[in-house]
Structure 1
Amino acid sequence: MASFLTPNRHGYSIRFSPFNPNHLVVATSQFFGLTGGGTLFLLESNSDDKLQELRLFQWSDGLFDVVWSETDPTVVVTASGDRCLQIWNLTENQTPNVLDEHKKEVYSVDWSKTRQDQFVISASWDCTVKLWDPNRKTSLNTFNGHEQLVYNAMWSPHIPNCFASVSGDGTMKLWNSLNPHYPSASYKVHDAEVLSCDWCKYDQNIIATAGSDGLIRGWDLRNLSQPIFQLVGCESAVRRIQFSPHNLSVIASVSYDFTTRIWDFSKQSGPVETIKHHSEFVYGLDWNTLKRGQIGDCGWDSLVHVFTPNCMLNI
């Protein structure tokens, strides 16, 4: 396992590059994101199982999420506590391009995965999701409908113009980015705040949600009346989930119970492996699409870990 310390910065989000298997970025905040600034780390994992800092970038407020461009290996977008998005060029020292329209903290950012269009969505505590062209200063659309703050919004990797959003109101909403007025569908998916969602990489009809109730639920878009699976085992809120890019039924999660867990919903409702290498809330999670089985996580203990879970060696 390779580890890296982000001194006086608490990890919120980690993302592997879709272009370089050894590069990753980590978005962090000072003072647990409650006040102070933020730092974006560009790291490299080398053959010695070590993480090396290549560059770092400072922002005046806490950074809560980060995503890579799908077309440019030098560009990432971050979301921050000062209501803004920042578009960074990782090869330059210039200040980032700033997108400032949200009314409250921006908690989630995602770049579209289908090749037809290249758009960014941002989810905010102002209860909205916004659609952006990264080359424009103003948003293209604003999506209203959630009654409480929006924690996460994620593009479908299969269906053009389709994304899902989840909120403190317990609902998941599906949207067509061409129609900002009404969601395509809205369902109560947890009797608690919904903190994260992710799409299955191998079946366009499967999406999973995770809540402050500690549950992970899977849904089939063709019938959302009840979950197709429920994963149980986290002792606190599940902060982030992500389907494996290499296995249809494998999901990773990170939680406020200090754990990272690997699940296989085709086999059992409990975790197939539980990793306890953090001493605080675990916030960030990502699979490396270019290295089978490799995963990264980060947490409020200022530690970043890159590793391959034992159970993934045989899957």
Structure 2
Amino acid sequence: MTLNERTGPSNRHTENIGLHGYSIRFSPFNPNHLVVATSQFFGLAGGGTLFLLESNSEDKLQELKSFQWTDGLFDVVWSESDPTIVVTASGDCCLQIWNLTGNQAPNILKEHTKEVYSVDWARTRCDQFVISASWDCTVKLWDPNRKTSLNTFSGHDQLVYNAMWSPHIPNCFASVSGDGTMKLWNSLNSHYPSASYKVHDAEVLSCDWCKYDQNIIATAGSDGLIRGWDLRNLSQPFFQLIGCEYAVRRIQFSPHNLSTIASVSYDFTTRIWDFSKNSGPIETIKHHSEFVYGLDWNVLKRGQIGDCGWDSLVHVFTPSSLLHI
């Protein structure tokens, strides 16, 4: 699907004007629904658009709804408790909580002092909190039903690109930053990290937790490397994946297989890896003509992934390497 060539009403002020994909997320409730966060003019100026899309049996995409914001949207995540709610992060220091069933303005959470680049919703049953990572070098903890944050976590020396909740350990999240470190946090006990590790000699742009082993986490950097870490021994990575020509923008472990990872990169590729087999990709997909920014696995459809990029394209597909896994 091309974001700049959409069907439907055209009375919105950013219609057909330079929309570039930043983040894509499949619904955890409906296997055919997904949201895409976009920005005008590569996120450098203009507004943002949030799309609610539906994929059919042939993975063709149809726009169901779209929502406008006055600044670029850099990330989006679904609520883990309500199938009608998503949260976006934007360039004007805000989070927006959207109700996809209506046309009302979103609830706005604003405490960060610079761009908010990452947002994640806790997936453990005991809590339903949101974390946001910002270029102001902090991570904030939010209750979506409150206007003010519950906590602010300081410790990174440079902008924070990504913060992700552990899917296994309650109140635990990781963050990665331009300072080359990954930090682990307990959201209940402290404003400061419980552990900090130098994981790349470069900016760290993304991290993700293994869905099958609570001790495994991966990081990706502007050095083009993906590294896997075992929290029981962080003296060196226990795997390293090599093959991306430029920075790795986002990584995600498969929800269906322990050792499978997907990545997207500034080299215009989406790659599939199996760290149990070798250090190179098992498949490289080249269907974008610009930086690929957004990536997600469909938890409800085995092997299906989605990606989006600065070329305004959104793809939903099952890589050939995953057809029989």
Deviation per residue, 1:245-290 (Å, 9 max, x gap)? 0000000000000000000000010000000000000000000000
Deviation per residue, 1:109-147 (Å, 9 max, x gap)? 000010101000000000000000000000000000000
Structure 2 unaligned spans of 5+:
5-15
Which stretch shows the higher mean deviation, 123-132 or 177-186? 177-186
Question: What residue in structure 1 maps to residue 7 of structure 2?
Answer: none
Deviation per residue, 1:83-109 (Å, 9 max, x gap)? 000000000100000000000000000
Pair 1:37 & 2:43 matched: no
Alignment of 1:35-74 (within 5 A): 35-74=45-84
CA contact (8 A) 1:4 1:51 kept: no
Question: What residue in structure 2 maps to residue 235 of structure 1?
Answer: 245
> Is the partner of 2:148 in helix, strand or coil?
coil
Query: How many percent of aligned residue pairs carry the same amino acid?
Result: 88
Pair 1:21 & 2:15 matched: no
Pair 1:140 & 2:150 matched: yes
Name the CA distance, whole Å, in 1 between partners of 2:284 and 2:47.
32
Which of 76, 93, 98 is the matching residue for 2:103? 93
Question: What residue in structure 1 maps to residue 256 of structure 2?
Answer: 246
Aligned residue pairs, count: 313
Question: What residue in structure 2 maps to residue 307 of structure 1?
Answer: 317
Question: What residue in structure 2 maps to residue 164 of structure 1?
Answer: 174
> Is the partner of 1:182 in helix, strand or coil?
coil
CA contact (8 A) 1:166 1:196 kept: yes
CA contact (8 A) 1:4 1:305 kept: no
Which of 157, 160, 181 is the matching residue for 1:150? 160
Letter of the structure 2 residue corresponding to residue 284 of structure 1 = G
> Is the partner of 2:36 in helix, strand or coil?
strand
- Shift of residue 47, structure 1, vs aligned partner: 2.1
- Shift of residue 5, structure 1, vs aligned partner: 2.9
Deviation per residue, 1:181-220 (Å, 9 max, x gap)? 3211100000000000000000000000000000000000
Which of 225, 234, 239 is the matching residue for 1:224? 234
Question: What residue in structure 2 maps to residue 5 of structure 1?
Answer: 3
Question: What residue in structure 1 maps to residue 135 of structure 2?
Answer: 125
Name the CA distance, whole Å, in 1 between partners of 2:57 and 2:242.
36
Name the CA distance, whole Å, in 2 between partners of 1:256 and 1:88.
29
Pair 1:174 & 2:184 matched: yes
- Shift of residue 180, structure 1, vs aligned partner: 3.0
Question: What residue in structure 1 maps to residue 121 of structure 2?
Answer: 111
Name the CA distance, whole Å, in 2 between partners of 1:83 and 1:100.
6
CA contact (8 A) 1:128 1:142 kept: yes
- Shift of residue 179, structure 1, vs aligned partner: 2.2
**TM-score calculated relative to the size of structure 2:** 0.95
**TM-score calculated relative to the size of structure 1:** 0.98
Name the CA distance, whole Å, in 1 between partners of 2:185 and 2:107.
27
Measured on the aligned residues, the alpha-carbon RMSD in Å equals 0.7
Displacement over 4 Å in runs of 4+:
none
CA contact (8 A) 2:265 2:292 kept: yes
Deviation per residue, 1:160-194 (Å, 9 max, x gap)? 00000000000000000012332111000000000
Name the CA distance, whole Å, in 2 between partners of 1:146 and 1:236.
24
- Shift of residue 314, structure 1, vs aligned partner: 1.7
Structure 1 unaligned spans of 5+:
none
